[in-house]
């Protein structure tokens, strides 16, 4: 097998011929797996997210830990904001309807700041058994909660068998995360411990999502078909009556640099 090139077409805006009106300084749109907000501001815009507990300023490290990515493009002065459907403060209805509420602060040439409310309801999604998102600042996986432990085949089979044996000995009615290393080491921690370590776990009615920053101590770098990949092997487990339940929430993202040919961004990714 070889590698496949992943292409992104880039639209270069001519600001002299396409000046945004005041009403279109902030644009938003529900996209495939995230809410997209596009902002033009004389200074880098600021973002707040609103939920039932109040208003939260989205600054690092909270933003990336909670599933928000803020990218500023110096070339055209725009800032792009992406919010995962499983971001921390998003209202989730049965993993089918996701409701967002933000304040976006923009400035004009005179340095005056104004707040623009942005609300969105995103629906109509069709989830597969497992979804992995590789963002600029984090990896995220969401998995069907009803999936069986299954385990891994091939070279990783023995590793997951050992993990399941340990889970049977240590599982309780409280969810825990178990991390597996290629050298055979297995370590587990509570959800609160994982959160203190930078991980974020979100449980919906039908699915569970785990988010991780890059370069975590439990992650490993590997090479797949010549492409560098960061791999995090992790399982969510708990005891339900007399049965130990394990959900594989492992994820992997390429970490190679892309290239730009004047019109397109390209990355090499493993074909399978």
Instruction: Give residue 19's pLDDT.
Output: 37
Residues 128-165: tens digit of each pLDDT:
999 999 999 999 999 998 765 544 444 455 666 666 66
Query: Domain 12-126 is in which class?
Result: mainly beta
pTM tops 0.95, yes or no: no
Rounded Cα gap, residues 5 and 11, in angstroms: 19
Query: What CATH number does domain 130-254 carry, 2.70.98, 2.60.40, 3.40.50, 2.50.20?
Result: 2.60.40
Higher pLDDT, 33 or 268: 33
Average pLDDT, stretch 235-263? 81
Please report which residue ranges of 53-98 form alpha helices under DSSP H. 62-65
Residue 85 or 74, more confident: 85
For residue 82, the model assigns a pLDDT of: 97
Fold equal for 12-126 and 130-254:
yes
Establish how many alpha carbons lie within 13 A of residue 35's alpha carbon, considering only the half-sphere containing its beta carbon: 25
Asked whether the beta carbons of 6 and 266 are under 8 A apart, the reply is yes
Distance CA 159, CA 157 (A): 5
The answer to whether 188 and 126 are in contact (CB under 8 A) is: no
In this predicted structure, the answer to whether residue 21 has a pLDDT above a threshold of 50 is no
Structure tokens at 115: 């707040």
Domain ranges, ordered by start, for the chain? 12-126, 130-254
Q: Give me 267's structure tokens.
A: 């990355």
* Residue 167 parent element (H or E): helix 157-170
Provide mean pLDDT across the span 233-242. 81
Poorest-pLDDT segment among 29-38, 74-83, 211-220:
74-83
pLDDT tens digits for range 181-205: 888 888 889 999 999 999 999 999 9
Greatest mean pLDDT range, 136-150, 169-183, 218-232: 218-232
Closest-CA residue to 81 (of 69, 63, 95): 69
CA distance linking residue 227 with residue 104, whole number of Å: 38
Task: Please tell me the distance from the alpha carbon of residue 45 to that of residue 31, in angstroms, as a whole number.
Answer: 21
pLDDT in tens, 80-124: 999 999 999 999 999 999 999 999 999 988 889 999 999 999 999
Round to whole Å and give the CA distance between 123 and 93.
Answer: 10
**152 or 209: which leads in pLDDT:** 209
Query: In the block, which residue shows the tokens 């989205």?
Result: 58
| pLDDT category of residue 271 using cuts at 50, 70 and 90 | low
First to last CA, the chain: 8
What percent of the chain is modeled with pLDDT above 70?
A: 77
> Using CA atoms, how far apart are residues 211 and 67, in angstroms rounded to an integer?
7
| From 16-25, 114-123, 176-185, 209-218, the region with the lowest mean pLDDT | 16-25
pLDDT of residue 51: 95
Alpha carbons 141 and 15: distance in angstroms, whole number: 37
């Amino acid at each position: 097998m070889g590698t496949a090139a992943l292409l992104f077409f880039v639209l270069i805006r001519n600001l002299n011929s396409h000046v945004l009106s005041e009403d279109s300084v902030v644009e938003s749109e529900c996209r495939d797996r995230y809410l997209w907000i596009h902002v033009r501001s004389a200074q880098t815009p600021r973002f707040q997210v609103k939920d039932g507990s109040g208003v939260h300023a989205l600054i690092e490290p909270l933003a990336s830990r909670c599933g928000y990515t803020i990218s500023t493009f110096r070339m055209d002065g725009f800032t792009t904001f992406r919010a995962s459907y499983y971001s921390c403060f998003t209202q989730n209805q049965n993993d089918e309807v996701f409701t967002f509420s933000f304040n976006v602060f923009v400035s004009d040439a005179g340095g005056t700041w104004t707040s623009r409310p942005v609300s969105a309801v995103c629906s109509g999604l069709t989830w597969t058994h497992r979804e992995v998102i590789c963002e600029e600042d984090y990896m995220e996986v969401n998995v069907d909660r009803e999936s069986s432990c299954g385990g891994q085949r091939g070279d990783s089979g023995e590793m997951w068998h050992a993990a399941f044996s340990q889970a049977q000995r240590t599982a309780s009615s409280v969810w825990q995360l178990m991390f597996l290393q290629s050298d055979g080491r297995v370590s587990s921690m509570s959800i609160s411990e994982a959160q203190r370590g930078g991980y974020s776990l979100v449980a919906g009615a039908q699915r569970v999502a785990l988010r991780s920053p890059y370069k975590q101590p439990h992650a490993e770098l590997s090479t797949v078909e010549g492409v560098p990949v960061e791999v995090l092997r992790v399982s969510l487990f708990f005891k339900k009556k007399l049965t130990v339940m394990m959900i594989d929430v492992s994820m992997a993202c390429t970490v190679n640099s892309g290239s730009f040919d004047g019109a397109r961004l390209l990355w090499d990714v493993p074909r399978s």
